[in-house]
Amino acid sequence: MIAVLGIVIVLLLAVIVWQYQNSRKASNDLRYMHDKLSSIMEEGSHERLLLFSGNLELQNVLIDLNRLLDINHKGSIERVRLEKSMRNMLSNISHDLKTPLTVVLGYIETIQQDEHLPAEERERMMKMIHQKANEVIQLMNKFFDLSKLESGDREVALSRVEAGEVCRRNILSFYDILSAKGSEVEIEIPDGAVYFMGNEEALDRILSNLLSNAISYGDAGGVLGLKLYSDENKVYIEVWDRGKGISEVHQDKVFERLYTLEDSRNRAYQGSGLGLTITKRLTEQMNGTITLVSQPYVRTVFTLSFRRLRF
């Protein structure tokens, strides 16, 4: 009996020692995790918690904490990217506003100071002042439109739209400009009606933006194209040119909010980073997609796709 009692006491002591050691190890592990987390947060480093433990609950906590650290790291990277994009956009916007305003002030000073300015020259300067003032107004309107789209204040009502008529109307609106530039135009629009679920006013804005870009920055290729086609489920609209295009490194990012193209060749396509962003937002409001494929001086094409309607 005494022997059995002795064995029980030894076992109890062993259990107590084992629990104490585990408790002490767990306490040390928790202290390490606390100190390491504090260090990571204070230094803003991208380290992860590394700890070997046989405690299943502690392992699960480590997994969750490392997952949160990864999320925080990705958020930090995105925040830095957005801050840089914001600075670039503000710089570009300042430039885009400063340029026409500087021209306007220069013409006004000339008109005020030169009493003997010929009437024809005065008239030319007044027209330029009007043109540059309109450029500033258009830029401010883009800001306003983008802010409404981003905030959700502007909703695009969807209904049946006949794409062919909208495409014809938009390409015809640029006929005089294309003729003056001597650009060749290739139009592929089916004779029959092609319907999709969208918004006619929004599509007008999208095509106007894309055609204006192609004319302004793709005219070196001497040709501009507009193609409308469809398959069983989708309606596609392509606007293309053979001009200087957009380099491959920027093609996946050119539609991003606040993203601006840095080199002079690419920046021409986007300016302050508003036009193509608005185009993409309007396309998405119609549940459509827009893609870009560009090979400079070979073919640069923006492709829109929308859900097809058959009635």
Beta strands in 58-103 (DSSP E): none
Tell me the average confidence (pLDDT) per consecutive run of 10 residues in the chain, 311 residues long.
51 49 62 72 71 68 76 80 71 72 85 86 88 81 71 78 95 87 91 94 91 85 93 95 85 68 46 74 93 91 94 72
Q: Please, are residues 166 and 200 in contact by the beta-carbon 8 Å criterion?
A: yes
Looking at CATH, the fold of the domain delimited by 78-151 is given as: Helix Hairpins (1.10.287)
What pLDDT score does 1 carry?
56
Domain ranges of the chain: 78-151, 159-309
Looking at CATH, the fold of the domain delimited by 159-309 is given as: Heat Shock Protein 90 (3.30.565)
Distance in angstroms (rounded) separating the CA atoms of residues 116 and 305: 58
What pLDDT score does 153 carry?
62
User: Model pTM?
Assistant: 0.62
What pLDDT score does 265 carry?
40
| DSSP code string of 100-161 | HHHHHHHHHHHHHH-TT--HHHHHHHHHHHHHHHHHHHHHHHHHHHHHHHHHT------EEE
